């Protein structure tokens, strides 16, 4: 019996959603360790955790669609992808134009003195762009793009690379590698970077199964 690649992708997707939900609970319950995994490090923002919850759903139904099972995907993919797009596009516009949209403090409020953070509750630029790319991939599946496997592989590689680069930055002590740019972008949190690596690998597996 061969290795079930799509089954593995669905398992990764469930992990991504589960960790996103766990991080949301950490915010609601005030469990600081789970937000950053180390004292003095940047937290995974609540909006990021929420997006991973929906991002795992996107990944799960991308795997389902790769099996040819579109019934659930036709409902779950557009809803989950649009939630991510709406949330992250609003945050990105807010960061780029320097206008507080209020989304970053919509569910929970972060301490203004939070480390490695430009605006309390605001994810890093790389985090927002990765989620927009993931959501766009989910929508593209519904449009049945013929170049989709190649696009998914490229998207997966890019998303995984951003996560790996951030982790390398923490290991090497190079803030620029985990996207900390004073006046522009806060840092990407360690748990965020790990989940992006998993998400990118998941997309890569799904794309390979669609060939």
**58-107: per-residue pLDDT in tens?**
999 999 888 877 777 788 899 999 999 999 999 998 888 877 767 776 77
**193-205: per-residue pLDDT in tens?**
999 999 999 999 9
Does residue 175 carry a pLDDT above 60? yes
pTM value is 0.91
Percent of the chain with pLDDT strictly greater than 70:
95
Domain residues of the chain, as ranges? 5-209
pLDDT, residue 211, reads 52
pLDDT, residue 1, reads 39
Radius of gyration of the chain (CA): 17
pLDDT, residue 34, reads 84
pLDDT, residue 196, reads 98
**31-45: per-residue pLDDT in tens?**
888 888 777 889 999
Residues contacting 100, CB < 8 A, separation 6+: 94, 119
Give 32: exposed, middle or buried? Use CB within 10 Å, 0-12, 13-18, 19+: exposed
């Amino acid at each position: 019996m061969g290795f079930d690649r799509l089954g593995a992708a669905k398992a990764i997707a469930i992990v991504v959603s589960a960790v996103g939900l766990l991080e949301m609970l950490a915010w609601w319950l005030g469990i600081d360790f789970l937000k950053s995994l180390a004292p003095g490090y940047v937290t995974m923002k609540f909006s990021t955790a929420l997006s991973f919850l929906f991002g795992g759903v996107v990944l799960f139904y991308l795997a389902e669609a790769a099996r040819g099972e579109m019934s659930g995907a036709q409902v779950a993919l557009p809803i989950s992808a649009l939630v991510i797009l709406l949330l992250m596009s609003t945050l990105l516009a807010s960061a780029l134009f320097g206008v507080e949209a209020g989304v970053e403090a919509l569910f929970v409020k972060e301490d203004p003195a939070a480390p490695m953070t430009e605006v309390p509750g605001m994810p890093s630029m790389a985090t927002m762009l990765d989620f927009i790319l993931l959501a766009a991939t989910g929508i593209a599946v519904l449009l049945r793009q013929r170049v989709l496997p190649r696009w998914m592989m490229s998207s997966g590689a890019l998303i995984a690379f951003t996560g790996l680069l951030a982790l390398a930055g923490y290991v090497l002590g190079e803030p620029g590698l985990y996207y900390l740019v004073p006046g522009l972008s806060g840092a990407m949190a360690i748990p965020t970077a790990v989940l992006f690596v998993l998400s990118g690998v998941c997309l890569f597996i799904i794309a390979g199964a669609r060939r």
